[in-house]
């Protein structure tokens, strides 16, 4: 099954990604506590999904690892910066991240804010210092996906749209900016970095746009249907916070159907790559999201 091919490669690449993350961070020679805080959060684990997607794009286009790794790691710098700032008292006020004290608890709030800032900026340092890709083409995708037209905008929507005003359309909107945008940077942006053709970049954008939304809905379903043991992370937190999610609005079955529709759209977008070796990873990722509920019930 393609899902298993995806999961195996995801697991196989994790150590390589983490080795490069450490290498690039060390190469910047950030001193003292700032380095410690950046490294603490960068090494806190996670699936490394965004760098993985960029690597899968490079593999599908037959491009060598050395070219994609700075770009792939820049994505994880950004993802980590977003988690550090998300966890701050003024935002989600989470004291724990992946079972460890979040950055502002392990260090201090001022250091956490600044470590997030440094990871945001130094994601671009990776592109400029270690990059052999098409920086002009990819930089546009990258910066757009992160700043006031991307992930950060998604955070603002999530902080400001009242729960009682959230509709399915509004949730799609929030999820698109919060999750799809960085998936787009990880796929379409990676393709731009590798100088792919415009129609290939567009196809990956359509894929990632739908898959990001599906990924977020699936996460909301699991928060209701799964158990902490099966998932390896705390469930029921949305309900505890009275968060309005897809399952709350249209039920678990309706939400599962929405996931399947989004995955179908994502798979259709992969059509231009059907003869490319390595494209099955992207289909496998979609299958994984689609089957996530059945597996974790």
In the complex, the smallest distance separating the C-beta of residue 31 from its own copies, rounded to whole angstroms, is 7
| Interface region with its own copies, contact rule CB under 8 A, candidates 156-164, 210-218, 224-232, 289-297 | 156-164
* 5 belongs to the binding site for its own copies (CB under 8 A): no
What are the residues whose beta carbons fall under 8 Å from the beta carbon of 295, sequence distance 6 or more?
A: none
Residue pointed to by tokens 């991240």: 97
Which residues 71-100 are close enough to bind its own copies by CB under 8 A?
A: 81, 85, 88, 90-91
Q: Do the Cβ atoms of 194 and 63 come closer than 8 Å?
A: yes
In the complex, the smallest distance separating the C-beta of residue 242 from its own copies, rounded to whole angstroms, is 18
* 290 belongs to the binding site for its own copies (CB under 8 A): no
Binding mask 7-46 for its own copies (x = CB under 8 A): ---------------------xxxxxxxx--x--------
Binding residues for its own copies, rule CB under 8 A, total: 50
What are the residues whose beta carbons fall under 8 Å from the beta carbon of 264, sequence distance 6 or more?
A: none
Q: Distance (Å, rounded) from C-alpha 68 to C-alpha 48?
A: 14
In the complex, the smallest distance separating the C-beta of residue 290 from its own copies, rounded to whole angstroms, is 32
Between 142 and 288, whose beta carbon lies closer to its own copies?
A: 142
Distance of CA 278 to the CA centre of its chain: 20
Distance separating the N- and C-terminal Cα atoms of the chain: 20
DSSP 8-class letter at 186: I
- Collapsing DSSP states into helix, strand and coil, what is residue 97? strand
Q: Do the Cβ atoms of 69 and 153 come closer than 8 Å?
A: no
In the complex, the smallest distance separating the C-beta of residue 258 from its own copies, rounded to whole angstroms, is 25
Which residues 95-154 are close enough to bind its own copies by CB under 8 A?
A: 108-111, 113-114, 116-122, 124-125, 127-129, 135-136, 139-140, 142-144, 146-150, 152-153
In the complex, the smallest distance separating the C-beta of residue 241 from its own copies, rounded to whole angstroms, is 15
φ and ψ at 265, to 5 degrees? -60, -45
Helices then strands, each counted (H, E), the chain: 16, 2
Q: Which of 186, 180, 187, 193 is nearest to 273 (CA)?
A: 187
Q: Distance (Å, rounded) from C-alpha 71 to C-alpha 77?
A: 10
Between 140 and 268, whose beta carbon lies closer to its own copies?
A: 140
Binding mask 227-246 for its own copies (x = CB under 8 A): --------------------
Q: What angle do CA 65, 211, 177 make, to 5 degrees?
A: 95
Binding mask 157-186 for its own copies (x = CB under 8 A): --xx--------------------------
Q: Kindly list the residues in this chain that would bind its own copies in the complex (CB under 8 A).
A: 28-35, 38, 81, 85, 88, 90-91, 108-111, 113-114, 116-122, 124-125, 127-129, 135-136, 139-140, 142-144, 146-150, 152-153, 155-156, 159-160
């Amino acid at each position: 099954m393609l899902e298993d091919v995806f999961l195996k490669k995801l697991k196989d690449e994790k150590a390589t990604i983490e080795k490069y993350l450490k290498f690039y961070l060390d190469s910047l020679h950030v001193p003292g506590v700032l380095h410690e805080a950046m490294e603490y959060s960068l090494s806190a684990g996670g699936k490394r999904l965004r760098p993985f997607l960029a690597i899968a794009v490079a593999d599908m286009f037959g491009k060598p690892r050395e070219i994609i790794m700075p770009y792939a790691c820049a994505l994880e710098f950004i993802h980590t910066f977003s988690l550090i700032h998300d966890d701050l008292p003024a935002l989600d006020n989470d004291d724990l991240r992946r079972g460890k004290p979040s950055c502002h608890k392990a260090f201090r709030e001022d250091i956490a804010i600044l470590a997030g800032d440094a990871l945001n900026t130094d994601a671009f340092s990776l592109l400029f210092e270690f990059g052999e890709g098409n920086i002009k083409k990819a930089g546009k995708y990258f910066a757009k996906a992160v700043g006031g037209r991307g992930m950060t905008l998604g955070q603002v929507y999530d902080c400001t749209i009242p729960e009682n005003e959230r509709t399915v359309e509004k949730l799609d909107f929030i999820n698109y900016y919060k999750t799809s945008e960085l998936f787009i940077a990880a796929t379409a942006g990676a393709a731009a970095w590798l100088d792919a053709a415009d129609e290939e970049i567009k196809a990956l954008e359509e894929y990632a746009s739908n898959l990001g939304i599906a990924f977020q809905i699936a996460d909301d379903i699991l928060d209701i249907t799964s158990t902490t043991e099966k998932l390896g992370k705390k469930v029921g937190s949305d309900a505890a916070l009275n968060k309005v999610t897809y399952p709350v609005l249209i039920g678990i079955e309706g939400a599962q159907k929405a996931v399947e529709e989004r995955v179908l759209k994502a798979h259709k977008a992969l059509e231009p790559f059907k003869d490319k070796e390595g494209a099955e990873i992207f289909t496998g990722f979609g299958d994984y999201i689609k089957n996530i509920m059945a597996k974790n019930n």
